[in-house]
Every structure is written in C-alpha cells, then in structure tokens.
Amino acid sequence: MLFPEPGTASGVQWAWLAPALSASAFFAVVLLGRFIPRNRAFLSILAIAAGFGVFWYVLKEFLSSGGGEFSVKWFTVGDITVSWGIVVDELSVVMLGLVTFVALAVQVYSLGYMKGEARFGWYFAVHSLFAAAMLTVVLTDNFLLLYMAWELVGVCSYLLIGFWYERRSAAEAAKKAFITTRIGDVGLLIGIIMLFKATGGHFDYSTIVHVAEEGGIASGTLTVAMLLIFLGAMGKSAQFPLHVWLPDAMEGPAPVSALIHAATMVVAGVYLVARLFPLFLLAPTALLVVAIIGLITALLTASMALVMTDLKRVLAYSTISHLGFMMLALGSGGFTAGMFHLLTHAFAKALLFLGAGSIAHGSGKTDIREMGGLWRRMPVTAVAFGIGVLALGGIPPLSGFFSKDEVLVAVLSGRGPVFFVLTLAAALMSAMYMARLLFLVVLGNLKKENEHAHESPWVMKLPLVALAILALTAGFLAPGWTSDYKGFGAFLFHEEPEAYHINGLVMGLSLALAFGGFALGWALYSRGLLSADRIRERFAWLHRLLVNKYYIDALYQWVINRIVLVLGRFIALFDRVVINDTGVNGTGRSVLLSGIRLRYLETGKVYNYALGMVVGVVVVALIWWLGLPNV
C-alpha cells in the first residue's frame, strides 16, 4: 500500500511523492510544454522544491514513528511478481534529503547559468527526470526497480552530458559515459538475476538479505553475485578501471556536473554498496575487492588531479578519488564513515562545481593557469569556492576534515597499516591539489585579461552560499551535541550505533597531512619557494604519465579500434564471404551448375532412358530386398 491506511500514525509512505512529483514535471514539460506559457523551468523547480518539502515531512514522521517498506504490484509474469516499492529507513532518508536539496540548489542555479540557452525547457525537463530516477534509486526496496532507475539516471546523464550535442566532443563524451557504465550494468543485471535465482524468485532486498543470512545462498554464488553487483557500482561511481568516462563527462554544463557527476548519480554506486552492506559482510572476499578497488582508484586519480589544467577536470579526478575513499571506507567495514564522507563530499563538491561554473560564467575561463586573484572581481563565488576547497582539503573545522578522519579510522581498524599508509598518501595528494586550486584560482594576482570578470547573478550566488554553509558546518553532525542527538554514527549505522571516534594518532596525522599539503601548495604556487616547472622537468616521465592519464584511455581506445572493431569487421566479412557468398549463393550456383551439367543426360534417345529405367528399378529392388526386409 502506497497510500497510508486511515488511522495509521506514520506518514513516511508519502516519500514516494518526491520522485512522482519530479516525474510528473518531466511529463508535463515534455508533453504539454507548448501550452505552458512562459517559463517551463519553474515547474521543474516547483516539483523538486516540493520533493524537498516531502523530505522534511518524511524525516519528521520517521523520527517520531519509524520507517517501513511499502509496495504495490506492477506486473506478474509466470510465477514472478514485480512490484514498485519503497523502503524508508535511515539510509534512504539521508539520501532523500541529500538528493532533493542538491537538486533544488542546482536547478535554481541553472536558472542563471543556462539563461538564454536554446532548449532551456528541455534542460529542466531532463533535470526533473533525473531527480525522479535518482530518488527512485535511493528509495526503492527491490533490485528490479533499482536497475530500472539506475539505467534511467544513466540516460539522463547521457542526455545532459550531450546537452550541447552540436559539439562533437560533447556527443562523444556522452556516448563514452553511457557505454562505460553499461559494461558495469551488465554485471549488475547478471548479479541481480543470480540472486533472484538463488533466492527462488525474489527481488526485494529484505527477503534476499534474510535468505542470505539464514545461509540459503551458497557462499560461492553470493561472492560472485556481489562482485558482479559491485561491477555495476564501479561503473556508476567511476571506479578504476571504469573511471574513464567521468572526466570526459565534464563536457556537460557545470550545474550538471555538480548534480550528477559529483553529488548524486556517481554516489549511487557507493549507496548501493551501503544498501547491500549485510550481503557484502557475508561475502568477505567481495568486500575486500571493494576496499582494494577503492584504494587503487583513490590513489591513481588523486595523482592525476595534481597535473590537470582544466578546472572542471581537476574537480572530476578529485571526485573519483573521493568516491574511492568512500568505497574504501565501506570495504573496510566503515559503514558510517563511508556514508558520512558521501554526505560531506556531496555538499563540498557540488559547491566547487557550481563555483567553477560561476567562474566560467563570470570570466569565461576554464584553464586554471589563466585564472588567479578572482576574489577581487567575484568575491561571493571566490569565498564559497575557497570554503569548498578547504573542506575537501581536510582543514578543520570544515566538514571534510571530520569525514576524512572517520574514513582513516575505519581503514586503520578494518584493513590494517598498509591500507592506512596508502590512504594517507591519497589524502595528502587531495590536500595538495586542493591547495593548487586555492592558490592558482582564488588567491594571487588578477591577470590583465580577467579585468572584465564579474560576479554572477543572485540566483547563482544563492545556491553557492547555501552549499557553502553546509560544507562549512556539516562536519559538526559527526559528534553528538545533546542527549537527543548522539552524532551521525548513532543515527546511520549498521548493526551497532557508532560513537564518534577520536583517535589521536589518526587525527594528528590527518591534520599534519592537510596542513602539510596546503603548505606545500602555498610554497609551490603562491610563494614560488619551490618551482613547479623545475619539478616538472625533473620528473618529466612522471608528468607525461600523469598527463596522459596512465595511458588507460589510450589503451581502451586501442582495444576498441584494434580488437573490437577489427573483430567486427572480420565477422562482417565472414558473414558476407563465407555464409552469404559461399553458403547461400554457392548453393544457388551449384544448383545452376548441376543443371548445366545434368542437362547432357537429357539426350532424347530412347535407349538411354530405357537403360536408366532398368538401372533404377534394379537399385530400388535391391534396396527393398536388402535394406527394408520387414516393410
């Protein structure tokens, strides 16, 4: 039942309204757009704002009377029943709040950023569709609906990356994103079907978890299924080796990057691992793979972020790196840490992308080497951007410091010192590239060609300020303040509430690395105490390796061009030459040829035919006599 029974206290069922509203906005704009007078964007924004309202209502109801699962039948096929359903628990409530808030902020911002754009209405329509699909991802209670919504967010991402489809690179990037994530999705689908088979025909999480915990799924099957499902998460969350699509996705408009490629869609993979955490705990090998992939991703992409020169690309690599941190935390058993980092990172990174958009809007620049001193011309943007930088760099008391600290604690206790040290290395790099942005973009001297740069309109500044406040303060959610609120870990946890950890060693190291990273950045990019150019020359091979993204993209391109397409050409040739020309036309030709040959048998001479008849009769008689005695 999606409609609450009369007389029942809880109203959390109404959470389904949030995606439904945005979906209606999408259909209204697409189907009736012509009849809506002026500004169609306002429908989308109204829908997501109402969704945000639904979040507050659901939160209130949830805190007072708890959550639950609610579903309606969708269709049956054979003995399988497929339903639409939602689950309201701590995890989905947190995600509901995050998605509606960031989507609202980004849509408001887009009013300014996309102003005067052709296809303005279409842009907002797709945003609404995205919000509906993303909210379904986080609310659904079963795998099939998850997969559907999962694919739909992928399509929205495709449409929005390719929003400026007249640009060849944008169309190319959109296609790359869709296909790369689809490789992961195949794993997800097979994993879902494996679990479906193993549980005797179930899609809903709670039944599958229940069966698995009872030992109803063979551990080998479970491990393989979880690995396949994680492949899907890797695709969406751009984990190595499927990370290549996300940097290219920066071809889309900046607000799209903020919403889809930083705060919401790309964390869907992390969310999925968290949602299925009980299953991953039953498959420790799969969980270890999660941790390893997360660590590799965090390290690899943080190093690439150090050398990129396009502002949005730096942010993209930083996003992937932080998604790696989240996966690593989950893979180390740090459920709360992973989710908390997801939350703080979402605010800070959405802020940074919107800031980058505002900078591009005001100065027309996208290359960080051409920026500098922008605070003199666009103070609000610069301050907000600076807050985002410091938050992600891990400077206390901003939000990133708290969550990064929790991730480090989780890694140390869950996976031991080797993982921990490597995580520290990634954290140091993350402080360094953030420092690079701070000193090259915001601070420093204003360049002459940027004299004309101007501050963005208030619809763009407002979301920046809101997100900046959250990036500044969200960290304080971690420790408890009152007897009612015992910290984030006491609200969102797996199995046991987690108190706020303070580990002196970890915190000390974390602080040292954050400040050390920023100090190094200051020395390199602001004071010139160290010469970045000299380092670049000294380690030219390393620089080349990083700038070329470890040649991973090139390798994939090579595989596609040299293996997949060559194989395709070979099989297409085989199809024509062997099957069609030899098999089909050859058969036809041989009939023709045998006709030409055989016609010489038709001599027209009676004694030839008589001989043939006699031979035939004898052969038939022989067969009859020898072969078929009983007929």
Site residues for other proteins per CB under 8 A: 74-80, 144, 147-149, 151-152, 155, 158, 162, 165-168, 171-172, 174-175, 178-179, 182-183, 186, 189-190, 193-194, 196-197, 564-565, 567-569, 571-572, 575, 579-580, 583-584, 588
Cα(452)–Cα(49) distance, integer angstroms: 35
Shorter beta-carbon distance to other proteins: residue 79 or 214: 79
Give the residue among 12, 17, 122, 117 at the shortest CA–CA distance from 70. 12
Is the alpha carbon torsion for 27, 30, 32, 33 positive or negative? positive
List 71's β-bridge partners, or say none: 85
C-alpha distances (whole Å) from 271 to each of 264, 293, 411 are 10, 16, 18
Helix count and strand count (H, E) for the chain = 27, 2
> Closest approach of Cβ 588 to other proteins, in Å?
7
> Closest approach of Cβ 204 to other proteins, in Å?
15
Give the residue among 603, 622, 621 at the shortest CA–CA distance from 611. 603
CA 77 to chain centre: 31
For the chain, report the end-to-end CA distance as a whole number of angstroms.
70
> Closest approach of Cβ 123 to other proteins, in Å?
14
Cα(479)–Cα(319) distance, integer angstroms: 25
> Closest approach of Cβ 169 to other proteins, in Å?
10
Shorter beta-carbon distance to other proteins: residue 79 or 496: 79
Shorter beta-carbon distance to other proteins: residue 165 or 624: 165
554 contacts: CB under 8 Å, gap ≥ 6: 548
> Closest approach of Cβ 171 to other proteins, in Å?
4
Shorter beta-carbon distance to other proteins: residue 166 or 484: 166
For residues 271 and 232, is the Cβ–Cβ distance under 8 A? no
Residue 167, amino acid: R
3-state SS, residue 81: strand
> Closest approach of Cβ 460 to other proteins, in Å?
28
Shorter beta-carbon distance to other proteins: residue 5 or 166: 166
For residues 399 and 470, is the Cβ–Cβ distance under 8 A? yes
> Closest approach of Cβ 128 to other proteins, in Å?
14
Shorter beta-carbon distance to other proteins: residue 162 or 334: 162
Q: What are phi and psi of 571, to 5 degrees?
A: -70, -35
Shorter beta-carbon distance to other proteins: residue 82 or 446: 82
Shorter beta-carbon distance to other proteins: residue 182 or 486: 182
> Within 13 Å, how many C-alpha atoms sit on residue 189's CB side?
10
> Closest approach of Cβ 265 to other proteins, in Å?
15
> Closest approach of Cβ 564 to other proteins, in Å?
7
Cα(4)–Cα(13) distance, integer angstroms: 6
Can you spell out the DSSP letters for 291-348?
HHHHHHHHHHHHHHHTT--BHHHHHHHHHHHHHHHHHHHHHTT-HHHHHHHHHHHHHH
Q: What are phi and psi of 27, to 5 degrees?
A: -65, -40
For residues 423 and 327, is the Cβ–Cβ distance under 8 A? no
Shorter beta-carbon distance to other proteins: residue 483 or 630: 630
Shorter beta-carbon distance to other proteins: residue 3 or 165: 165
Shorter beta-carbon distance to other proteins: residue 136 or 381: 136
Cα(144)–Cα(561) distance, integer angstroms: 34
> Closest approach of Cβ 580 to other proteins, in Å?
4
> Closest approach of Cβ 535 to other proteins, in Å?
40
3-state SS, residue 391: helix
C-alpha distances (whole Å) from 115 to each of 34, 118, 189 are 19, 9, 39
> Closest approach of Cβ 232 to other proteins, in Å?
12
Total Cβ atoms within 10 A of residue 10: 18
Shorter beta-carbon distance to other proteins: residue 485 or 558: 558
For residues 338 and 95, is the Cβ–Cβ distance under 8 A? no
